[in-house]
Amino acid sequence: MKSFKKTVNRKKVILVLLIALGLLVPLKIGYDYYSSDYHSDLTAKVYNDTVNENINIVFYKKGCPYCEAGMSKIKSEAKDSDVTTFYVDVDSADGQALISRFDVVKAPTIVTVRDGAITLDYYAYDDKNGDITVNEKYIEEVFAD
């Protein structure tokens, strides 16, 4: 029961932070495409009940080869991380609101919020030879905080 309570409280904390960032609409942030056992609904009520916390927001697009290349590393790191992570489909209505809010240019992006500071970077990109490369160092860093 203690573990469940901790999880619920962490989600509340995250939601308040997102509201403080100006996201005043209920958000549906899911990870259905990559993992059928993970789904998170972010609602305005839960959002209002939270306080500042460090979070990661992983943007993805279904069928994106960059997103697919980086997702296994992200899932692996997120699984063992204490940092709460949300997954956002950029093609959804809520995803469009979030990419606008955080100035996300391309789908394979992770936005990090740490003590109110927002940063973002690509988790996969083309290397100098034009091959898709997973930014493993960056992924490890954002999940280690």
Q: What angle do CA 20, 84, 19 make, to 5 degrees?
A: 15
Return the sign of the alpha-carbon dihedral for residues 60, 66, 72, 76.
Answer: negative
Which pLDDT value is given to residue 24? 38
Per-residue model confidence as pLDDT tens digits over 99-144:
888 889 999 999 998 877 889 999 999 999 999 999 999 999 999 8
Which pLDDT value is given to residue 95? 86
Beta-bridged to residue 119, according to DSSP, are 112
Structure-token pair, residue 64: 């994106």
Per-residue model confidence as pLDDT tens digits over 18-52:
655 554 343 344 434 444 444 444 544 444 444 44
Which pLDDT value is given to residue 22? 53
CATH topology of domain 2-144: Glutaredoxin (3.40.30)
